[in-house]
Structure formats: structure tokens, C-alpha cells
Structure 1
Amino acid sequence: MTGAKTAVEWLASVAPDPEACRWEWERNPQGIALLPAGKAWDVLILRGELGYPTLDVLTRVIDQPGPVLVDFGDSRMGFFVPPGTATRWLGTGVRTAGRGTWIVVPYPGRVTGGVRWLIPPDGSGTLTDPALLELAMHEAAANLATDDDR
């Protein structure tokens, strides 16, 4: 089974009808699906200005972070984290998608005109540790503040 196929099955597994979701998703010319957050993952959504530096810090600390989405225009980035993170998140300036919310998810390996994967899911369920993500966000924000002072 290829990585993209495994990733598709992992993502579609949260849909109310995974087989119907996968069938429609594979045939959707836009290559997107609306999937519920809060089952296999939550998503922490950062502004692109903070998201990219955060991802840079994160990838220097760990080899394989969880999936990361970016929207059209790179204005927001979504980091996939363990379910339940959204309800416990206290940080400001970060939007959350958890139980009861749905997110637009592109088909892994397919280029779409809007939302796309910066780090696609590997199909194994790898997610970003929210504590590491928070530390990376703090370092990125500190670096941005230092750059602004120059």
C-alpha cells in the first residue's frame, strides 16, 4: 500500500461513512473533503506569519512532525495534534478545531488550488506533540520580536 493511499485511508477513517468519503474524495475535481476534527486529531491554526517560523523551529527539533496544512495565500497553517488538544488549549492568537468542528482537507499527493499539505500525513497517525508545538511557537515569536526590533 502506498503512503498516499495509507494517508487517505487514515484521514477518511474519521468520516461518518469512510468508504463513501474516500470514493467521493478520489473523484472530486477539487481534491478536497470536509472531515470532522476531534476524532483522530485536532488542528491548531496559526497565522502564516507565525506558522512558518514555528514549523522551521519544530523541524529542527524533531524529525517528523504531524501533518501540516496551509491555506490559499499562506495566511493560515493548521498543525494536526492529538484529539482533545483544542478543548485544553489556552494560548491566545491560535484558533482551534476539535470535536464538533469540520475542516477542509486536500487529498494527499494531489495539488489543489487552495488548501494544501506542507507536511502530508504518513498514514501511521503521526501527530505533533502540542507541548513541543507550543515551545516552537514561543521561540518563533521571540525570534520575530527580535527581528522587528532590528
Structure 2
Amino acid sequence: MAGAKTAVEWLASVAPDPGACRWEWERNPLGVALLPAGRAWDVLILPGELGRPTLDVLTRILGRPGPVLVDFGNDRMGFFVSPGTAARWLGTGIRTAGTGAWIVVPYPGRSTGSVRWLVPPDGTGTLTDPALLELAMHEAAARLADGTAD
């Protein structure tokens, strides 16, 4: 899409100093930045055993959901959703990162040892709709309970 921000610009735009963030990010040997949630996005953090089938459901429905992070052990997955979602979210076993929270974000397109993108940001600001994410979580949980999830 012509004129769309790159994924790096979009992510760095939430930093207190976007230029310094990009500079550090590009030179940090770990390839990560600590960015504040709650400005352009919140993050819903699911346990890996629920997150993987949830992502499968979302991918089947949408083709490409908003950005999704996974930690090094595949124990937790972070789905990027609209700002304000974390303050309203009620869900057992689901962590939230919203206003006042900071998350470790890898540089798009680079592998890191601690966290990686399963679905990298596209630079346009595409996020996963929280209502759709909740429905996908319910379907994934039902499949897990039935033993039909991978």
C-alpha cells in the first residue's frame, strides 16, 4: 500500500522517542525494544496451548490477523488488539498489556532468542478485533476440550 508506514515506523511510533527507539533497536544485539502498550495497541497474552489453536482459527477466518508475538518457549502468545481492550478484558488465564504496561518487541524481520513474530505487523496498523479473538478463543477451547485441536 503506497504511503503506508513500515512495520518498524508503526511500532516505533509509540516509543517516547521514536528516533532513539529505531536507533537502539537496529544496534541492539538482542534485536528487541521495550515499547509501551496502550497507545496504538494493547496485547492480550494467551497461554501457548490456547494461543496456537486460536491463531489457527483466526487464520482460517481472516487469512491474516493482526500482529502476534510468541515467546522463546512457545509458552505465551501475544495478540495485538485495539487500545483500551486490556482495561475491559475479563478472561481467566489471559494476561493483558495496556496503558502503563511495556512489552518486549522484536525488530520485524529479525529472529531473536527471546521473542519472535508469528504474524509480523504489516505497517498499516492492522489489529485483531477483540470480539473476533474472543470467538476464536472459544472455538479453540472447545476443540481442545474435544481433543480435536492439533
Into which bin does the TM-score normalised by the smaller protein fall? over 0.9
Mapping of 1:65-144 within 5 angstroms?
65-144=65-144
- TM-score w.r.t. the length of structure 1 is 0.94
CA distance in structure 2 between the aligned counterparts of 1:63 and 1:126, rounded to whole angstroms: 13
Question: Could you report, residue by residue, the CA deviation over 1:101-146 in whole angstroms, capped at 9, with x for unpaired residues?
Answer: 0000000000111100000000000000000000000000000001
- Segments of structure 1 that go 5 or more residues without pairing to the other structure are none
Partner of 1:39: 39
Mapping of 1:9-20 within 5 angstroms?
9-20=9-20
Number of matched pairs: 146
More helix by share: 1
CA distance in structure 2 between the aligned counterparts of 1:94 and 1:35, rounded to whole angstroms: 20
- Segments of structure 2 that go 5 or more residues without pairing to the other structure are none
Mapping of 1:45-60 within 5 angstroms?
45-60=45-60
CA distance in structure 2 between the aligned counterparts of 1:6 and 1:15, rounded to whole angstroms: 15
- Secondary structure of the residue aligned to 1:73 is coil
CA distance in structure 1 between the aligned counterparts of 2:9 and 2:27, rounded to whole angstroms: 15
Match for 1:92: what amino acid?
T
Partner of 2:61: 61
- Secondary structure of the residue aligned to 1:74 is coil
- TM-score w.r.t. the length of structure 2 is 0.94
Match for 1:83: what amino acid?
P
CA distance in structure 2 between the aligned counterparts of 1:58 and 1:66, rounded to whole angstroms: 10
Match for 1:7: what amino acid?
A
Match for 1:104: what amino acid?
V
CA distance in structure 2 between the aligned counterparts of 1:63 and 1:82, rounded to whole angstroms: 19
Match for 1:14: what amino acid?
V
Displacement after TM superposition at 1:87 (Å): 0.3
Q: Percent identity?
A: 83
Displacement after TM superposition at 1:63 (Å): 2.1
- Computed over aligned residues only, the root mean square deviation of the Cα atoms, in angstroms, reads 1.5
- Secondary structure of the residue aligned to 1:131 is helix
Partner of 1:145: 145
CA distance in structure 2 between the aligned counterparts of 1:127 and 1:10, rounded to whole angstroms: 12
